[in-house]
Amino acid sequence: MQLSEKGLGFLKKSEGFRSHSYLDVAGVPTIAYGHRILPTESFPDGIAEAQGADLLARAVSGAENAVERLVKVELAQCQFDALVDFVYNLGPRKLEASTLLRTLNIGRYGAAADELLRWDHVGMRENEGLKARREGEFLLWHSADSGQQSAA
């Protein structure tokens, strides 16, 4: 499965594009569409949007692969999109160790969607940006409810 255009649009809107480096909410140097700058990378003159789109495509591919590897139940496209955005934002290890994944893998789709909403903190503090993103993922998850995959 691959991230849909709708999912990609959601991810791009959530991240926003920045041509110069900045510190994300966790204080990590970041550029483009939320790309965490690696110690071996340097962007002293910033980055063009096309270059940022290439970084995004590689990271999305990794997030897609992580969701495919970790999720053991069938997903609707909208659910896959929400999880890819979650993994893109927080990393595969967060999904792998989560109640969200355990709940989903036993077929409790609705309860798994509810778990998305719990990931809105930076440290011990609720973050409005993460809260909005998780609510967006929740809505994306439910955007095309169909049959078994949307059951609680």
Report whether 36 contacts 24 (CB < 8 A).
Answer: yes
The CA distances from residue 114 to 54, 68, 103, 119, 141, in Å, are 32, 20, 10, 10, 10
Contact 100, 116 (CB under 8 A): yes
- In three-state secondary structure terms, 35 is strand
Torsion over CA: 128, 126, 92, 25 (sign): positive
Which tokens go with 78? 């909208």
Catalytic residue among 5, 15, 96, 115: 15
Question: Could you confirm whether 15 is annotated as catalytic?
Answer: yes
DSSP secondary structure, 86-143, as one string: HHHHH-HHHHHT-HHHHHHHTT-HHHHHHHHTT--EETTEE-HHHHHHHHHHHHHHTT
Report, as residue numbers or ranges, the catalytic residues.
15
